[in-house]
């Protein structure tokens, strides 16, 4: 029976798996987006989200706990300074996984995993949607469609020579 065996071992022993996930978390914090396989990204999300959640409260104890997992001063500093400010009001879900298809060599499913608040393209789309008007009246839309048609002069096609 495989009761209570949900954890993906990624084909590695515990020490190797912990080192892999710690290194991937460091890369994610420093680069904000990494390209990897889908299985590793899902395992990384489970590993990294509690570590990122600790950065909300900047205490010495939280810094020591995060450093015990990552063992990288630059990543811990970046996490508590830059990333913590962006995720301060977010209740969870700090990472996003975007599938990119299959790898050519071994047909493994690949994806991007990124920090949610650092994707400028999706943030621009979100603000553009909010900026649009939600209510429209028939009178203003009818006047808007008639006005350009009445003002625009009709251009004649040049004669063929």
What does each of the 161 residues of the chain score in pLDDT, given as a tens digit?
A: 989 888 899 999 999 999 999 999 999 999 999 999 999 999 999 999 999 999 999 999 999 999 999 999 999 999 999 999 999 999 999 999 999 999 999 999 999 999 998 887 777 777 777 766 666 667 765 555 665 555 555 556 566 65
* Contact in structure between 110 and 38 (CB atoms under 8 Å): yes
CA nearest 98: which of 123, 122, 79?
A: 122
**At CA 85, angle to CA 51 and CA 53, rounded to 5?**
20
The strand order across the sheet containing 95-102 reads: 33-37, 109-115, 95-102
Compute the distance between CA of residue 110 and CA of residue 145 in angstroms, rounded to an integer. 47
Q: Residue 123's pLDDT is what?
A: 72
Choices 3.20.20.140, 3.90.1030.10, 3.40.30.10, 3.50.30.10: CATH for 14-120: 3.90.1030.10
Domain boundaries, the chain: 14-120
């Amino acid at each position: 029976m495989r009761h209570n065996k949900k954890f993906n071992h990624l084909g590695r022993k515990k020490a190797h798996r912990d080192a892999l996930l710690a290194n991937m978390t460091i890369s994610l914090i420093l680069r904000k987006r990494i390209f990897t396989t889908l299985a590793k990204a899902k395992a990384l999300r489970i590993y990294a989200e509690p570590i990122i959640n600790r950065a909300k409260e900047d205490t010495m104890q939280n810094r020591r706990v995060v450093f015990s997992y990552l063992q990288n001063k630059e990543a811990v500093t970046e996490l508590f300074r830059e990333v913590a400010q962006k995720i301060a009001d977010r209740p969870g879900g700090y990472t996003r996984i975007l599938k990119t298809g299959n790898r050519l060599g071994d047909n493994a499913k690949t994806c991007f995993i990124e920090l949610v608040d650092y994707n400028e393209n999706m943030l621009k789309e979100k603000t553009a949607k909010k900026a649009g008007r939600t209510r429209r009246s028939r009178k203003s839309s009818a006047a808007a469609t008639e006005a350009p048609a009445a003002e625009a002069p009709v251009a004649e096609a040049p004669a063929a020579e």
